[in-house]
Amino acid sequence: MAKITPLREAVASLVHDGDTVALEGFTHLIPHAAGHEIIRQGRRDLTLVRMTPDLIYDQLIGMGCAAKLIFSWGGNPGVGSLHRFRDAVEQGWPHRLEIEEHSHAGMANAYVAGASNLPFALLRGYTGSDLPKVNPNIRFVECPFTAEKLAAIPSVRPDVTVIHAQKADRRGNVLLWGILGVQKEAVLAAKRSIVTVEEIVDDLDAPPNACVLPYWALSAVCPVPGGAYPSYAQGYSERDNRFYKAWDPIARSRDGFRAWMQRHVLDTDDFAGFRRVLAESMAQIMKEGA
């Protein structure tokens, strides 16, 4: 049953040390504000799940929140590497990061299986790839009808899924549109869920086939305007490609990264505070770049 609550309270009560947490979003609607709040509250030993870990996962990993990452593509889209992710995998900094690596089709099917209350996902996949050699959670089963060999991987069943959406009504029914990724499946696969939204409205005004997550299937709905930044919410904001580029040099050095996180995330109270401090430093970066 969705409680409309401030993000800080939702994270405090729903995300615990050691949890399996999926902050999903496929370039669009990435829940950056919620990721920051998890970092501020100092969560540890998380198993992070996401098809496309990007900047917010780089930050969670670099700040030592994660023990394990389950993923299928980890990079800074259009820019290059995630330096904190690479440092964790290549050098074990700030500590060793266990990885469980899949393909997008595998992950997407694993979320569907989780939402469907099935123990594993079944797909035609991974044939000829070395991924099954390094991931014991990719196995093959025989079809009982045709004897065909098919890939099987465990369902994704997060303790908590966190997503960002465009809007909710006052009961907590959530509407999202545009590129949806696996957000609906990730919410329905999880025990608990947090949805940050751009705004709370009287009426969702949703057409019949719209992607609506009903209030009774969610744990918390938190108004955080711009909470996907530097990702975007279609109809509300544009992706800030400048920040994705700016992140590359920030994340390259351990000290530079730590100092940046201290100033922008740990020393700010909330996402609005982060945006204010960021606006100052982005103006500086743009001035230096010009």
Partner 1 sequence: MGSEDFTATEIMTVAASRLLKDGTVCFVGIGLPSTAANLARLTHAPDVVLIYESGPIGAKPTVLPLSIGDGDLALTADTVVGTPEIFRYWLQGGRIDVGFLGAAQVDRFANINTTVIGSYDAPKVRLPGAGGAPEIASQAKEVFIVLKQSPKAFVAKLPFVTSAGHLDGGDARAKAGIPGAGPTAVITDLGILTPDPVTKELTLTGIHPGVTVEQVKAATGWDLKISSGLKTTGIPDAGTLAALRDLHARTAAAHGQVGGEG
Angle subtended by helix axes 32-40 and 7-14, to nearest 10:
60
b (16+ CB within 10 A) / e for 212-228? bbebebbbbbbbbbbbb
Token pair 């100052």 is found at 280
Q: Give 77 or 154: the residue with its C-beta nearer to partner 1.
A: 77
The residues, any chain, with a CB within 8 Å of residue 134's CB and separated by 6 or more, are 101
Residue 165 contacts residue 176 (beta carbons within 8 Å): yes
Shortest distance in whole angstroms from residue 118 CB to partner 1: 13
Q: Mask 231-270, x = binds partner 1 (CB under 8 A)?
A: -x-x---xx-xx-xx-------------------------
**Residue list 111-140, contact with partner 1 (CB under 8 A):** 111-112, 123-131, 134
For residue 215, state whether it binds partner 1 (rule: CB under 8 A).
Answer: no
* Structure tokens, 108: 């997407």
Q: Mask 176-195, x = binds partner 1 (CB under 8 A)?
A: --xxxxx-xx----------
Q: Give 32 or 40: the residue with its C-beta nearer to partner 1.
A: 32
d(CA 234, CA 160): 24
* Site size for partner 1 (CB under 8 A): 58
**Residue list 45-104, contact with partner 1 (CB under 8 A):** 51-52, 54, 71-82, 85-86, 89-90, 101-104
Burial class (CB in 10 A: 0-12, 13-18, 19+), 105: middle
Shortest distance in whole angstroms from residue 13 CB to partner 1: 29
**DSSP classification of residue 43:** -
Residue 253 has phi, psi (to 5 degrees) of -105, 145
Shortest distance in whole angstroms from residue 280 CB to partner 1: 21
What residues make contact with partner 1 under the rule CB under 8 A? 26-28, 51-52, 54, 71-82, 85-86, 89-90, 101-105, 108-109, 111-112, 123-131, 134, 148-149, 178-182, 184-185, 232, 234, 238-239, 241-242, 244-245
